[in-house]
Amino acid sequence: MATWNSRGLRGSVLEDLVNRSNEIYLEKGLALIQKIPTPITPIQIDKQSRHITLAYFEQKSTVDYIGCVQGIPVCFDAKECISDTFALQNLHDHQVRFMTNFEKQGGVAFLLIYYSSRDLFYYLPYRDMMEFWNRKESGGRKSFRIEELNMDYTLTPRQGIFVPYLDGLQKDLGQRE
């Protein structure tokens, strides 16, 4: 089981950029998106500073973010990828189930992927995520390469919005109609 101090700061840069983008979207009245805290169970606490020094992540959490964009319920997970290949082991069964149920209820689910070696932000629509997931589940590749993605969903930072995922959402919604 992974522990809190063994995972370091993995994904924290992406999380910070998404959180700042969420603040700007809120300030502009465009969206209300909340970070869902990952539930942890403390194991060691420094008595002097009262800080958790060792903890383990509880098994089940949902996705990283959930909220509403101008009346549209959305949920998404943010993943960081160092190489051009995204390993689907970074996505968990319970997250896929949650996103599937969210979509069934009329919401929009997606992944935000940051390809750090390319400094590229990508919006992966639920339907595309499920194509890769189902391929894996039926015995196919357990990953997907950046070349398999629709580059129309690349997100370009602009106007102080570091991860402009509403651009990807707008394209996604347009293709659902």
70 is in an annotated binding site: no
Through-space distance between the first and last CA atoms of the chain, rounded to whole angstroms: 42
Looking at residues 11-16, what average pLDDT do you find? 80
In a domain, 49, yes or no: no
Element (H, E) at 133: helix 126-137
Q: Give a yes or no: residue 80 inside a domain.
A: yes
Rg (CA), the chain: 17
95 annotated as ligand-binding: yes
The answer to whether residue 55 sits within a structural domain is no
Where does residue 10 fall: left (phi above 0), alpha (psi -120 to 50 degrees), or beta otherwise?
beta
Instruction: Please check if 64 is assigned to a binding site.
Output: yes
Residue 56 lies in a domain: no
Query: Residue 113 sits in a domain of what CATH number?
Result: 3.40.1350.10
Question: pLDDT (tens digit, 9 = 90+) per residue, 81-128?
Answer: 999 999 999 999 999 999 999 999 999 999 999 999 999 999 999 999
165 vs 113: CA distance, rounded Å:
10
Q: Is residue 166 part of a domain?
A: yes
Q: Is residue 68 part of a domain?
A: yes
Tens digit of each residue's pLDDT (9 = 90 or more) over 20-42:
999 999 999 999 999 987 666 66
pLDDT at 13: 84
DSSP β-ladder status, 108-115 and 72-81: parallel
Classify residue 136: in a domain, yes or no: yes
Instruction: Evaluate whether 36 touches 72 at the Cβ level (below 8 Å).
Output: no
Distance CA 37, CA 56 (A): 14
Residue 148 exposed, middle or buried by CB count within 10 Å (0-12, 13-18, 19+) = middle
Question: Quick one: which of 118, 116, 174, 124 has its CA closest to 151?
Answer: 124
User: By residue range, what is the domain housing residue 31?
Assistant: 22-38+62-176
Query: What is the model's pTM?
Result: 0.84
Classify residue 85: in a domain, yes or no.
yes
- Half-sphere exposure of 122 toward its Cβ, with a 13 Å CA cutoff? 26
H or E element in which residue 1 lies: none
- Total number of domains constituting the chain: 1
- Count of Cβ atoms closer than 10 Å to residue 1 Cβ: 7
Q: Tell me the pLDDT band of 55, cut-offs 50, 70 and 90.
A: low
